[in-house]
Structure formats: C-alpha cells, structure tokens
Structure 1
C-alpha cells in the first residue's frame, strides 16, 4: 500500500506544552487518551483490535508510537486511523506514523478531503482575534495542507458508522473546520468531541499550560464559522454525554460536564464567540 503523505513546508516542531503532556489517561475500559504537548489523541480498543483518533503535533511520531506501544504492545498497529479534522495539531505526525505502520487506512469526512489531499489550505489562523497570547502568536502555526495518498484516505461512511469501531457513530460538527466530526458511543454515552467543545481556554497560555478545566467552544484563532460552531455545540449537548474526551484539555464527566455544556450552549455568544476577529467581522458584513 502507498503510505505516501506529504506535509506542508511550514510543518515544524512547535515549542509549546502543558503540565499534562505525555500523560496517558484511561477513562473507560477501552478508551485512552494522551496529551501530546497541547492536543489530545485518543486510542479506542484492546490489544487485539484498536483504533487511533487523530495524530498529534508535528515532529512527535516517536512520542505517539511510545504511547501506543505502552498501551497495546509493540508491533501492534491500529486497525484504522480516524481524523476528526485536518488542522496541524491533529494530523501533525501522521506521515511518520504511516511510515511506521503499514497497511493502515485513514478515514475522514469528505468535507475535509480538500485539506487532506493538498488541494486547499485552511484560512490562515487569525492572530487579530480577541484572546490571549496563544491567539496572538497564531501566525507561527503551520497552515499548509498535508497531502494523503488516495490509496489510503477513505471517506467516513454515509450511515454514520465509524470504521473498525462497532457501537460508535460519527457526528458532523462544522464551524471550527468544514468537515470536523465528533464520535459518540450510545452504550455508555462517551463523547470524543475533537475541537467542537473543549475543556480549556485554548488561546490562554497560562490556562493551557496548567490545563485549567472549563467547558469552552473551539479554539478562536482557527474557527471560521461561529454560527455553525454554536449549532455544533448544541448538537453535542443534546446527546447528554456522561463522559467527554476533548481535543484540548482534560476529560470531564458527571454534573460538571452537564452544567458546563448547558452553560456553553446558552451563553455561547459571550463564552465562545470573540468580540473581534476577522472571521467574526466577515460574518457581520455578510449578515
């Protein structure tokens, strides 16, 4: 199988981290996640069959492989890789992982395909957006698209099933990116929310460093459609999840999660939507 993945010329190591970096959390008998610098990747399954969800930061292949081997053993590739979306911090080490693991398919929503096959770049991150220092330095974040070989990239099926993960459904959650998806398991109401809902204020360096827990909307500097992002948060809140594993921040459960999601959806315009920024202003001009 052709495992060719070309990364953008601006893909480089990003020197930022958090107190949770490198920690592995087991939140269900078969659900694990690890914080890779400032982003989470998720692993679902058992040593006999598991799936990787997202591929972390650039230049972190060895760290991700070490985590996977610690959980599932050496020489044990995933049955599939699911990409929630194609931003640099969710696909950053995909090339190295696919070079190490052979015969692994990658699945994503077709709306993300232009950004995963080199045909189109996301809008540049907005360093003018209201927010903390991680928003102000957003111009340093990689933005060139990666290009995954059509031999290994597959669309998520129309019926909502998640390949290689029986019992899980994917849910389209646009706003942060056109084809972002979340994953939900009805049996135990576990939600893998990607960046549609996160649990840390991602533009604040201090809060990211300490992983201060608070239910938040998507990272401001990359989110281009705030009304769609609000609707996506509303759809996830309606699922009434018992457990949330976000793209950024720590997992949450119980009353804190229920109340946090409810407040976010109710007050999304003040909690999540920035007061100023090019994507907010473009939306106002077009309304």
Structure 2
C-alpha cells in the first residue's frame, strides 16, 4: 500500500490523493465526513488518510458520493463492511451507486482510445487498482435538500452530465467547493493541467455537464477540490471559464 498524501486546505477540510483519484475528509469535533473513497485498491489508503488526520473509522458519521464511478466508490464495500454508516448522494445517483444501472466508460470505449500512450498506461493502472469490478453500494440513498447536518455542513449542488446524478458539494463556511468529476484539474490520460473537463469518453452527457457548471459560478469561495488533479485556488467563475474554453 502506498501512503496517500493528505493536505489540509481549510479549517477542518483535508484532501487525500490515492490511486490517481482524490477523496475529501471533513472534520468537526470528534466526527468526520468522507467525500468519495477511491478505487477498491484504495481501501487501505483511505484508512491511512483517516489516521493521518488523527481520526479512526469509528468516528465516520457519513459518506457523501459525488458520483458512482468505481474510482469514487470502489473502496466502500470493504471499508464499510459491518458498519451502519449512511452513504448519501443525489436520488438519481443513489440508483447508480446501487448498480440499478451503470454509466461509465465501457471497455470498448477505452480500447478504442488505447492507442494513446497515456490511456493505455491508465487502463493498466485501473485494472491493478480493482477498477474492473461492477460492485455497487447497496445502502446508498438520496440526501435531503439544503445543507446537510454533517461535519463540514456541506451543501449539495446537483450537477448532472458526467453522470445523470453527479453532485458537487459546497462548503460555504470554509470557502471550499468539491467538484468531483464535473470539473477537474488534471487526469492521467491527458497532459494538460488546470481547470478542465475530462475527455469525452468519461462523460455520460457532455452537453449537460457543460450546462451544469453554470451553477458553480455564483458560489462563494476560492478553493476548488476536484476528483482528479490538484486543488485549485481562485474564483469558481474563472475555473468554469477555463474548463469550458480549454482546448481538447
């Protein structure tokens, strides 16, 4: 197991970098919220990140899911085994997390792009991280509207496109926005860094994803935490503009 890098970006907000994907830990008092959870192979890294910030899995109050791709929920079945911890996401995405349907890049789509060296290397990495599993999270459920009464007081912003029920989480008290894969700052399959959209094959509906980003412009804060790439500081409107205008 590689030890993840954990960085505190605001009061009570930590970002951990695992197998080419990030997850977020929101702390308050003696409890914390976990946002996303990496690949199946990241389970030990998630536990390590919790220990690095001085907490234990017994203090986990809830898991929030931006979307139900395997690189964001893959570690949850083993991580939560035998534990009664709520797993919350949008109502639509809860069905996805329970694997009542599946919206992610197919093996055929990946194979068609594997002539690109970065895609081939990434796909081998995915296999090694357990990314071919179709296992879901049966206990996933939809969250209530408005700010959630959880450590971090996250406010869900439903942003369909990357998946049908993709959700970002705004932390107005600390000026942080968790964007999942609606807007990222890098990915192993591309060379470019900075605010951008993932390659088309990763999105369920590219046009819907682009429209959803408009919701982020009006939010207050200056720290953006993507599912892939490094944290970004600046206005969310600037990040959206850069992502929408980036050359693919």
TM > 0.5: yes
Q: Cα RMSD over matched residues?
A: 2.8
Equivalent residue number for residue 240 of structure 2: 261
SS in 1 for 2:207: helix
Q: Distance in 2 between matches of 1:246 and 1:81?
A: 17
Q: Which of 75, 90, 96 is the matching residue for 1:109?
A: 90
2:16 is aligned, of 28, 34, 38, to: 34
Partner of 1:246: 226
Query: Contact 1:69–1:76 at 8 Å: present in 2 too?
Result: no
Paired residue for 1:156, among 115, 140, 143?
A: 143
Within 5 Å, which residues of 2 pair with 1:90-129? 90-99=72-81, 102-125=83-106, 126-127=109-110, 128=112
Residues 6-27 of structure 1 deviation map (CA, whole Å, 9 limit, x = unaligned): xxxxxxx9xxx9xxx7111100
Per the alignment, do residues 227 and 27 of structure 1 end up closer, same or farther by CA in structure 2, a change over 3 Å counting? same
Task: After TM superposition, list the pairs within 5 Å mapping 1:175-190 onto structure 2.
Answer: 175-190=161-176
Deviation of 1:263 (Å): 2.8
TM-score by length of 2: 0.84
Unaligned residue ranges in structure 2 (runs of 5+) = none
Q: Name the SS of the counterpart of 2:155 in structure 1.
A: strand
Alignment check: 8 A CA contact 1:217 1:271 kept? no
Contact 2:162 2:182 in 1 (8 A): yes
Query: For the pair shown, which has the larger CA radius of gyration, 1 or 2?
Result: 1
Displacement after TM superposition at 1:154 (Å):
2.2
User: What is the TM-score of this pair, normalised by structure 1?
Assistant: 0.73
1:24 has 2:2 as partner:
no
- For residues 2-17 of structure 1, what are the structure 2 equivalents within 5 Å? none
The answer as to whether partners of 2:177 and 2:224 remain within 8 angstroms in 1 is yes
Structure 1 Cα separation of the partners of residues 115 and 229 of structure 2 = 17
SS at match of 1:216: coil
Structure 1: 5+ residue stretches without partners: 1-12, 273-287
Q: Where in structure 1 do 4 or more consecutive aligned residues deviate above 6 Å?
A: 137-140
Deviations along 1:233-267, one digit per CA (max 9) or x if unpaired, are 22213325311011011111136x654432323x2
- The answer to whether the 8 Å contact 1:176/1:225 transfers is yes
User: What's 2:49 paired with?
Assistant: 67
Aligned to 1:51: 33
